[in-house]
């Protein structure tokens, strides 16, 4: 179940932390980190969001086709040559990662007979997407450009929550030097944006400019910091609760082996429950024998190997549960809670990965 009200509260919290004058772009890529891109887009639109961001042209087209007409949509992953016409047709704003792409957009705009706005991404040191061209080269390309219109300058931080590393300061300094050189030559992009959740949460205000891109925070998370971080400013809470139903409850004798490979052997007579959810639903296989779920309000271990469609849990602490009853895989139940960061630590991954991994066959219910 996904709480629309909590998503809205998280969005408002991000807005209030960055303050008036800074637009909060709602990042809804990867189906809104598993929360459902269309639904989340609608919640954010009701809150007055001006920008949404997705990863690919395909994701942008899906939003438009789903009826999202109003806010601007930034395609952060940019576009491939054959996707140019779709940008125009669906009114998507691409992040551009090379000077060649500016020329391409210019030709596209000439053909379409209308201006195309884009955001130029600067590779300020992450060595992922973005251009490493010097300001002079960028200016030369901009001067030749007729219909493609530079609306934004952006970059992305590799280590915004890491206060043992100077990388964010270096990236920001590089980004600012490019922006200043462009400005000195009369090129003023209307939008500057460099910060996502961690740079917002840890108050890297020099990176806020007039726009930030928030994803994880909208879903209730800020990554833990490394080193001596300042106070974390965001007060966001998870909006998603993930439950699975018990298929069977049974008692097994001491010594019984559980699941594939018999990797768990009951040390005493036990009551176990078989959940109708497995790694095909997004429960990480790595949680086999080490993860936990909440059953009848208490944290209880996953026993043995997680199967594709089934997961066995310990129910020795309760007689209250029967087939059809629900167990919480992620969320709060009674006094217990389990969030994506806690699960990620046990699974050896990150909270983003836990959320994005909840598969399409898990029904999303909105409240
Ligand atoms: C995913 C992404 C974001 C959002 O990051 P969060 O940490 O989820 O806030 C922002 N910018 C870019 C370029 C991204 O790829």
In a domain, 136, yes or no: yes
Identify the pLDDT of residue 248. Answer: 98
Identify the pLDDT of residue 129. Answer: 96
Whether 196 and 247 map to the same domain: the answer is: no
Residue 260 is a catalytic residue = yes
Identify the pLDDT of residue 6. Answer: 98
Cβ 356 under 6 angstroms from ligand 1: no
Q: Which of these, 76, 75, 96, 102, lies nearest to 86 by C-alpha position?
A: 75
Cα(161)–Cα(301) distance, integer angstroms: 31
Among 26, 156, 236, which residue has the most ligand 1 atoms within 8 Å of its CB, making it the best to mutate?
156
At 68-100, the pLDDT tens digits run 998 999 999 999 999 999 999 999 999 999 999
Q: Could you tell me the distance, in angstroms and rounded to a whole number, from the CA of residue 102 to the centre of ligand 1?
A: 23
- Confidence bin at 362 (pLDDT 50/70/90): very high
Task: Provide mean pLDDT across the span 40-50.
Answer: 98
Identify the pLDDT of residue 188. Answer: 96
Whether 254 and 148 map to the same domain: the answer is: no
* Number of domains comprising the chain: 2
Average pLDDT, the chain: 98
Whether 189 and 86 map to the same domain: the answer is: yes
Task: Provide mean pLDDT across the span 185-211.
Answer: 98
Cα(245)–Cα(248) distance, integer angstroms: 9
Identify the pLDDT of residue 71. Answer: 97
Q: What is the position in ligand 1's atom list of the atom closest to the CA of 223?
A: 7
Which residue range forms the structural domain that includes residue 137? 4-219
Say what the pTM is: 0.97
In a domain, 361, yes or no: no
Whether 8 and 143 map to the same domain: the answer is: yes
- Confidence bin at 66 (pLDDT 50/70/90): very high
Kind plus residue range of the DSSP H or E element containing 272: strand 270-275
At 94-150, the pLDDT tens digits run 999 999 999 999 999 999 999 999 999 999 999 999 999 999 999 999 999 999 999
What is the percent of the chain with per-residue pLDDT over 90, rounded to a whole number? 99
Whether 53 and 195 map to the same domain: the answer is: yes
Q: What is the position in ligand 1's atom list of the atom closest to the CA of 129?
A: 13
Identify the pLDDT of residue 327. Answer: 98
Measured between alpha carbons, how far is residue 113 from residues 72, 80, 144, 147 in Å?
Answer: 20, 20, 17, 9
Cβ 14 under 6 angstroms from ligand 1: no
Whether 166 and 247 map to the same domain: the answer is: no
- Write down the residue that tokens 């090379």 correspond to: 98
**Could you tell me which residues are beta bridge partners of residue 131?**
122
In a domain, 233, yes or no: no
Task: Provide mean pLDDT across the span 347-364.
Answer: 98
Q: Which of these, 192, 104, 181, lies nearest to 139 by C-alpha position?
A: 181
At 287-296, the pLDDT tens digits run 999 999 999 9
Catalytic residue among 11, 29, 33, 221: 29
- Confidence bin at 233 (pLDDT 50/70/90): very high
């Amino acid at each position: 179940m996904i709480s629309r009200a909590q998503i809205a509260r998280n969005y408002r919290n991000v807005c209030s932390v960055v303050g008036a004058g800074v637009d909060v772009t709602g990042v809804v890529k990867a189906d809104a980190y598993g929360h459902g891109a269309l639904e989340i887009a609608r919640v954010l639109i009701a809150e007055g969001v001006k920008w949404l961001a997705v990863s690919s042209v395909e994701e942008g087209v899906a939003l438009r086709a789903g009826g999202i007409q109003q806010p601007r949509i930034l395609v952060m992953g940019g576009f491939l040559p054959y996707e140019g016409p779709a940008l125009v047709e669906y009114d998507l704003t691409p992040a551009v990662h090379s000077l060649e792409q500016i020329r391409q957009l210019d030709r596209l705009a000439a053909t379409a007979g209308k201006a195309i706005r884009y955001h130029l991404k600067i590779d300020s040191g992450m060595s992922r997407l973005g251009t490493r061209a010097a300001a002079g080269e960028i200016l030369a390309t901009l001067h030749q450009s007729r219909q493609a219109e530079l609306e934004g300058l952006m970059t992305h931080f590799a280590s915004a929550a890491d206060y043992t590393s100077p990388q964010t300061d270096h990236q920001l300094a590089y980004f600012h030097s490019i922006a200043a050189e462009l400005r000195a030559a009369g090129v003023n992009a209307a939008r500057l944006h460099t910060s996502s959740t961690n740079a917002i949460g840890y108050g890297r205000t020099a990176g806020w400019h007039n726009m930030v891109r928030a994803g994880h925070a909208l879903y209730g998370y800020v990554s833990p910091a490394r080193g001596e971080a300042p106070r974390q400013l965001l007060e966001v809470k998870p909006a998603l609760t993930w439950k699975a139903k018990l298929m069977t409850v049974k008692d097994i004798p001491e010594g019984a082996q559980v699941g594939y490979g018999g990797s768990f052997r009951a040390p005493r007579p036990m009551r176990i429950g078989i959940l109708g959810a497995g790694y095909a639903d997004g429960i990480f296989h790595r949680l086999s024998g080490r993860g936990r779920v909440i059953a009848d309000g208490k944290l209880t271990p996953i026993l043995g190997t997680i199967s594709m469609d089934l997961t066995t849990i310990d129910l020795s602490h309760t007689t209250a549960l029967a087939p059809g009853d629900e167990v919480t895989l992620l969320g709060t139940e009674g006094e217990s809670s389990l969030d994506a960061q806690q699960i990620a630590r046990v699974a050896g991954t990150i909270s983003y990965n836990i959320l994005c991994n909840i598969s399409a066959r898990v029904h999303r219910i909105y409240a």
